[in-house]
Structure 1
């Protein structure tokens, strides 16, 4: 995997350098590496431009690879191929960030710097694409991978799980996601923070009544531009992710409760486990809503990612014990005191957040889904005995695959007779990133507000 190259000092980096780095990022993903990890090593002054280009390319990767194969059936060297694929994706109809001739010129410049003998070949391929673009695009889109820009197995799984929505889900993954904030009620309410955003010249609107703390920005902004972000007045968090804390704390009353059945909110001193806590958005949200009065333990198996949890809690002036541990290995970390409530935001395919992480579709393999489902089941079975009778566990995944959602919980309920899944009219079950998902109460025009999530609230009898 290549290392990101730094731009020359002074001025904006030239386009050919951005293209070269974006091509390296795409090639890293094709070799099985995380785009997030690669970008973390990209020089800060070119990272935004490289990220924007690589996101666009990864959303068009299936189509660009198909056209490259049609134009040059013999595979060029990997770094030349990655530059060609990058340029083809950015030359695709609808991508208008740069003029065609500028993009071709700068892409050929990048090839010439890396493989001088391939510059003429790259120039011929790209100029032929411009001449025959309509016909080449039409031919490529006859292939489902090129048409939908997702692996075939992914399309097949979505079609099986959501026969009425699978194409809409694939198309939703191609959209740029909104930037959504969670307003901290310890400082101010949502209307007042919206007013402060307006004063700062930042357009925003509420996400909808299902998400009482969620504000959607009209355009993404650096967090430094947000009013009092550094003082903890707001956090960046998708609206769907903001459902976990109120479900666990009892802010939402299940609709299947009998009239005389109590459903108390968790109070001060309640013992709560966040079992897979990193990067800490849900951890912090729990303490925000509870007034920082929970006895909260945040676990994660990744000690490096746990630092993000600590940073989040520190910025928001919130308390919590943070520990590196595999939640399944309870003998290594549990002190024997049962929990009132457990949040299990389980490792998953991330199939519900592809628009935010466009590399995920290309990194996952079909065998990953059953492997992840096994880990999810192991976590559920290991944590359930740690819950008090009468306690509650929220199981969450950022996935739209039923194997990681409803099928997982159906199997768990078969294994545990003392578990009951509580029912809600909204906010639980599979939440699809689609306007027609009736379970979501969204603001007008907010079809793309939410990511895809699954939630189940399990009650221990």
Structure 2
């Protein structure tokens, strides 16, 4: 069956950005990450009309950066300057023979097209213009010698798995039977999952509203819908009216785990200790009428919490404060429940933040473990006897999850661990159990455990 030709472009309609233009900006983003900047800081600097395409390309490059770097090392005699290196890595990432990754990212370009557009991109940028011929020679050599170059590159673990060596080795220790599945899952884009605001609309009704605009979805968890195809939030029915939020299914588990097996009222005091951007805060309020205090150290992030609550029609006290220093914000009244979604390496959400793996250092783990321990110690005295604390991190590293909680339980005789999911791993399968690895499939990696406070 012959495919229909594309519809003609209306007269006067603007042309979209060329691949060369997008590659030029992608290379700048990749270079910024290699210099230690987060994409959340870099991407807003890209022009709005270029941002969707540049973000898609940048994510793809960062998911293949280990392979691309190994190829560049073979293609050059002397390491090129950072701008040329970033452009070569960006182009090579689009030329890899990785049908699965290409299909998952939706990026399909003929290899010779990538070469030509990369050379154009080099010419367009002052920092690479003099190296355009060099870029052309490197990429054309890759086309000629692809099998041998790829075979040599993939001998190295960083190139094969596209994660730093220390990260790979830590996963091998923490999850010896599943480390490969975790790394493979990290290199695939995560699905778009919504949390339906049950105060506004039922999940089944919202699923029908999505179908009415041609968007299929599947229920996940108590309030979630995983979309078959990601959508801009502006297209989601009732988004501005607070009918739904974008939140991964693993993150949606927090509310159920903290609130389960008891009735909650407005007299119950709940603390969300590290609340921004407010997804879990909002879900708690969608699920229960409680008096909730949401803290975050960053004033701008507190504004995001306020904005999210306002859109969803919810109320909480939002305060800019350091949860680890209760003397600066606590009124002396104990809490019935505390959610501590602690700062961590974010090693479980690499699918959605592919820059994290290249920004983190091995030493960050130990530093963050100290921060987490400090928060646990500071907040535990604020919990009523009979109250509960849900400790959560978006990490798959045991030091930030199972090991952290085990050490806490050993220090506190009035702390009792309740049956909890433990480590949730993306793209793996494992039995449930205390501190064991549970399957996640389409979800992000997370750690959850609930600790109850008993009377002395």
TM over 0.5: yes
Alignment of 1:54-453 (within 5 A): 54-94=58-98, 95=102, 97-114=108-125, 115-207=128-220, 211-250=221-260, 253=261, 264-290=262-288, 293-424=289-420, 428-439=421-432, 448-453=441-446
Q: Does 1:50 align with 2:43?
A: no
Asked if the contact 1:177–1:448 (Cα under 8 Å) also holds between the matched residues in 2, the reply is: no
TM-score by length of 2: 0.92
Q: Does 1:460 align with 2:453?
A: yes
Could you say if the C-alpha distance between residues 200 and 437 of structure 1 is closer, same or farther in structure 2, counting changes exceeding 3 Å? farther
Q: CA deviation at 1:447?
A: 6.2
Asked if the contact 2:425–2:440 (Cα under 8 Å) also holds between the matched residues in 1, the reply is: no
TM-score by length of 1: 0.91
SS in 1 for 2:189: coil
Q: Does 1:12 align with 2:16?
A: yes
Task: Tell me which of 36, 41, 44 is aligned to 2:40.
Answer: 36
Aligned mates of 2:43, 2:281 — CA distance in 1 = 26
Q: CA deviation at 1:43?
A: 1.2
Q: CA deviation at 1:248?
A: 1.1
What's the C-alpha RMSD, in Å, of the aligned pairs? 1.4
Asked if the contact 2:424–2:440 (Cα under 8 Å) also holds between the matched residues in 1, the reply is: no
Could you give the per-residue CA deviations for residues 372-413 of structure 1, whole angstroms, max 9, x where no partner exists? 000000000000000111100000000000000000000111
Q: CA deviation at 1:439?
A: 3.8
Gaps of 5+ in 1: 1-8, 254-263, 441-445
Q: CA deviation at 1:80?
A: 1.2
Q: CA deviation at 1:17?
A: 1.1
Q: CA deviation at 1:102?
A: 1.4
Asked if the contact 2:197–2:245 (Cα under 8 Å) also holds between the matched residues in 1, the reply is: yes
Aligned mates of 1:301, 1:333 — CA distance in 2 = 11
Aligned mates of 1:452, 1:46 — CA distance in 2 = 30
Aligned mates of 2:388, 2:123 — CA distance in 1 = 61
Residues matched between the structures, number: 428
Q: CA deviation at 1:268?
A: 2.3
Q: CA deviation at 1:435?
A: 4.5
